[in-house]
Amino acid sequence: MKKAEIYLALLALLAIIFKLALIPGAGILTVLSLSILGMMYYFLGFAFFNGIKLREIFKRSSYKNITAAKIIGAVLAGWVLSMTLIGIMFRLQFYPGGHNMLFFGLLGMMGVIVVSIIARLIAGESRIFPRILKRIAVVAAVSALLYITPTDTLLDIQHRNNPEYRDAMKNAMANPDNDEYQQKLEEEREKLYNGR
């Protein structure tokens, strides 16, 4: 399970690099890799952070030395990571709500970091806290960078070869109720995807 997590994380990183390098198909790769990684954390976070192997999830003996607090903490950390990864995907794809998801994801991660540090100080040596903190540090860095980067800058980077589409998208996002801007965006999108 750890290998799958590493491969998906590397694939997501590669997809983001491809997206910024304007390589065709990078958007689909970004959506797939971040969605699957987010679902893995959401559903299997308790196993990742507690060092339980996938084939041992349903064995009672796997949970013998794990307290309920560690399971609950791992579940919450998985949910926060999942929401933040989906927020990263939404922000890179310019889906509505991405900025808000990143904000709440960063808040949740700060809470998980504080609780993890306090729990580590109280509980002493435990392997769960470094596992959580390593993953959160990487995701928090990427999400904080995307959160503070203005949408116009992201549009300028991702659509630097299509200035008409970029400008139409900026106008449509700034004025979502303006039908003229929305129509112009659809026209530019058709030109972009039909190769005109």
- Three-class DSSP category at 118: helix
List of the chain residues with pLDDT < 50: none
Which region holds residue 96: left if phi is over 0, alpha if psi is between -120 and 50, else beta?
beta
Place of tokens 């990864």: 85
Token code pair at residue 191: 């030109």
Q: What share of the chain is helix, strand, coil (3-state, %, to 5)?
A: 80, 0, 20
State residue 183's pLDDT score: 93
What is the biggest distance separating any 2 CA atoms in the chain, rounded to whole angstroms? 63
What angle is formed at CA 30 by the lines to CA 41 and CA 169, rounded to 5 degrees?
A: 125
Q: What is the C-alpha separation between 85 and 94, in angstroms, rounded?
A: 14
Q: Global pTM?
A: 0.88
Q: Give residue 167's pLDDT.
A: 93
